[in-house]
Amino acid sequence: MSGFWQYPLVETAGYYSVVVLCIIVFLAIFEAVTKYENWEEIKKGNLAVAMATGGKIFGIANIFRYSIDQHDSLLAMIGWGMFGFMLLLIAYFMFEFLTPKFRVDEEIKNNNRAVGLISMVISVGLSYVIGASI
């Protein structure tokens, strides 16, 4: 079976499948910690939620991109990807905590595009820092 993973197409399909599953799970975790329903708000045309969610998707995928690049096994890639996700989640809470003049979740739910854009840039930017360090 170990020879089976030597084929680049099989390896790519394996990494792809695992990362897509991880993105789904991690987005569900983000959904649980936000005070709004991501997909319902996006369905209603809330651009701020779409930008924040898109930033999270990009951030998670970018962390896994670095994790795949730097680690030899699927389990190591998953472990480092999960660690990177936890750091991204901590950054989300820090953004909420460090903005005492307004509630980030409420502003994003109310389609404040400026807050949605900053949220997206934080997720994307920190994913590069997290990824480079793993």
Residue 26, both tokens:
């991690």
**Cβ-based neighbours of 64, under 8 Å, separated by 6 or more:** 19, 22, 23, 77, 81, 84
Count of CB atoms within 10 A of residue 56's CB?
Answer: 28
For each of the chain's 134 residues, which pLDDT tens digit applies? 556 557 788 888 889 999 999 999 999 999 999 989 999 999 999 999 999 999 999 999 999 999 999 987 889 999 999 999 999 999 999 998 998 888 999 999 999 999 999 999 999 999 999 999 98
Residue 125, both tokens:
């930017």
What's the CA gap between 72 and 65, in Å, rounded? 13
Please report, for the chain, the start and end positions of each structural domain, with discontinuous segments joined by +: 4-133
If you write DSSP's letter for every residue of 96-109 in order, what string do you get? HHT-TTS-HHHHHH
Task: Name the pTM for this structure.
Answer: 0.88
